[in-house]
Amino acid sequence: DTGVSQNPRHKITKRGQNVTFRCDPISEHNRLYWYRQTLGQGPEFLTYFQNEAQLEKSRLLSDRFSAERPKGSFSTLEIQRTEQGDSAMYLCASNLGEGSYGYTFGSGTRLTVV
């Protein structure tokens, strides 16, 4: 593994469309995190998984957002009925598990809603 991989790198979509992003963590990492970063701000926590279990969700994660990690490996983040306010960089990170100190981030998916 060379790191956390995210696809696509960029996504432009029309308002109202659904989009899905994928994150492939480092293979031995049990925990996977999603963050959102808007222009000029630090990353904000959205949700995280321990293997396939979703352990915590932020209030930022409205009912239009859903995240899955079906086999405890890769994860997907889907946004339904996109709005212009969803335009942001979506970052994925992983680490070895509870109490682990190192978080490795992917390069992110930049979403633009027009």
Partner 1 sequence: GIQVEQSPPDLILQEGANSTLRCNFSDSVNNLQWFHQNPWGQLINLFYIPSGTKQNGRLSATTVATERYSLLYISSSQTTDSGVYFCAVRSYNTDKLIFGTGTRLQVFP
Nearer to partner 1, 74 or 103 (CB): 103
The answer to whether 44 contacts partner 1 (rule: CB under 8 A) is yes
Among 42, 63, 70, 84, binds partner 1 (CB under 8 A): 42
Q: Minimum Å distance from CB 31 to partner 1?
A: 7
* Residue numbers 47-106 binding partner 1 by CB under 8 A: 48, 55-56, 89, 91, 93, 98, 101-105
Q: Over the Cα atoms of the chain, what is R_g? A: 13
* Alpha carbons 5 and 93: distance in angstroms, whole number: 9
* Alpha carbons 13 and 112: distance in angstroms, whole number: 6
As beta bridge partners, residue 20 has 78
Q: What is the largest CA-CA distance in the chain?
A: 40
Containing 111, the helix (H) or strand (E) segment is strand 109-113
Interacting residue ranges for partner 1, rule: CB under 8 A:
31, 33, 35, 37, 40-45, 48, 55-56, 89, 91, 93, 98, 101-105, 107-108, 110
